[in-house]
Amino acid sequence: MEITINNKTFTCNEETHFAIQVGKGKSAYKDRYVFVGDLNKALFYYRCINIGYGYKKRLMIDKKVVSRAFS
């Protein structure tokens, strides 16, 4: 299955890892959620994470950054 997010095309299957990472300030990102093969759940959780002042989040598909958000 091919998906397009932010004008980038990715190939996904049942073994694809979707990771949602959160960080604060200049510190490193840390995995918050990891889903295997379930893109809909990964996007839902990514959109539901409310980042406060100084925080950042990103969505990764097989260790490739797809989307980022900063506050």
| Tens digit of pLDDT at every position of the chain (71 positions) | 888 888 888 888 899 999 999 999 999 999 999 999 888 899 999 999 999 899 999 999 999 999 899 98
Q: Give pLDDT, residue 6.
A: 80
Tokens 């918050």 identify what position?
32
Q: Give pLDDT, residue 34.
A: 95
Q: Give pLDDT, residue 8.
A: 83
Residue 27 near residue 20, CB atoms below 8 Å: no
Take residue 38 and report the two structure tokens written for it.
């379930």
In single-letter form, the type of residue at position 10 comes to F
Angstrom distance (rounded) from CA 22 to CA 60: 11
Q: Give pLDDT, residue 61.
A: 92
Residue 37 near residue 61, CB atoms below 8 Å: no
